[in-house]
Amino acid sequence: MSRFWSPLVHDLDPYVPGEQPRVEGLIKLNTNENPYPPAPGVAELLRQPQTIERLRLYPDPNSQSLKDALTEHYGLQPGQVFVGNGSDDVLAMVFMALFKNSQPLLFPDITYSFYPVYCQLFGIDYKTVPLAEDFSLNLDHYPADNGGIIFANPNAPTGLALGLDRIEALLQRNTDSVVVVDEAYVDFGAQSARALIDRYPNLLVVQTFSKSRSLAGMRLGFAMGSIELIEGINRVKNSFNPYPLDRIAEAAGREAVLDGAYFVQCCQRIMATRERTREALMAMGFEVLPSATNFLFARPPASLPAAELAERLRQDRVLIRYFNKPRIDGFVRVSVGTDEEMGVLLGLLKGYLG
Give the separation between CA 224 and CA 72, rounded to whole angstroms.
12
Instruction: Tell whether the model's pLDDT for residue 124 goes beyond 80.
Output: yes
Q: What pLDDT score does 1 carry?
A: 59
Q: Which residue has the higher pLDDT, 219 or 2?
A: 219
Across residues 208-217, what is the average pLDDT? 97
A 10 A CB-CB count for 315 gives 7
Mean pLDDT of 126-149: 96
| 120-134, 233-247, 281-295: least confidently modelled range | 233-247
Beta strands in 56-164 (DSSP E): 81-84, 105-108, 126-129, 149-152
Using CA atoms of 138, 139, 143, 145 in order, give the dihedral in degrees to the nearest 10: 150
Dump pLDDT digits (tens) for 280-296. Answer: 999 999 999 999 999 99
Whether residue 10 is predicted with pLDDT greater than 80 in this model: the reply is no
User: What's residue 295's pLDDT?
Assistant: 98
Q: What pLDDT is attached to residue 291?
A: 98
pLDDT for res 241: 86
Distance of CA 274 to the CA centre of its chain: 17
- Say which residues have a Cβ less than 8 Å from residue 115's Cβ, sequence separation at least 6: 107, 126, 150
Q: What is the pLDDT of residue 128?
A: 97
Mean pLDDT of 221-227: 98
Look at residue 126 in the predicted model and tell me its pLDDT.
97
Distance between CA atoms of residues 59 and 245, nearest Å: 7
Give the strand pairing for 179-182 and 203-208.
parallel
Residue type, 148: G
pLDDT at 115 over 90: yes
How far apart are alpha carbons 335 and 313 in whole angstroms? 14
8 confidence band (pLDDT: 50, 70, 90): confident
Please state the rounded mean pLDDT for residues 85-105.
Answer: 95
What is the chain's mean pLDDT, rounded? 95
Whether the pLDDT of residue 28 is over 90: the answer is: yes
Cis, peptide link before residue 157, omega less than 30° from 0:
yes
pLDDT at 308: 97
Whole-number pLDDT of residue 229: 98
Q: Stretch 330-349: mean pLDDT, rounded?
A: 98
Instruction: Give the pLDDT band of residue 21 (cuts 50, 70, 90).
Output: confident
Question: Averaged over 122-137, what is the pLDDT?
Answer: 97
Cβ-Cβ contacts under 8 Å for 205 (sequence gap 6 or more): 180, 181, 183, 192, 193, 194, 197, 223, 224, 225
Q: Residue 118: is its pLDDT beyond 90?
A: yes
Q: What is the pLDDT of residue 18?
A: 66
Q: Which residue segments constitute the domains of the chain, with CATH numbers given?
A: 7-37+261-352 (3.90.1150.10), 40-259 (3.40.640.10)
- Can you give the pLDDT at residue 9? 80
Query: Does residue 195 surpass a pLDDT of 70?
Result: yes
- What's this model's pTM, rounded to 2 decimal places? 0.94
pLDDT at 269 over 90: yes
- Distance of alpha carbon 66 from alpha carbon 72, whole angstroms: 10
**Band (243; pLDDT cuts 50, 70, 90):** confident
Mean predicted confidence (pLDDT) in 28-54: 95
- The pLDDT value recorded for residue 15 is 65
* Contact call for residues 30 and 335 (beta carbons, < 8 A): yes
What are the respective helix, strand and coil percentages of the chain, to the nearest 5?
40, 15, 45
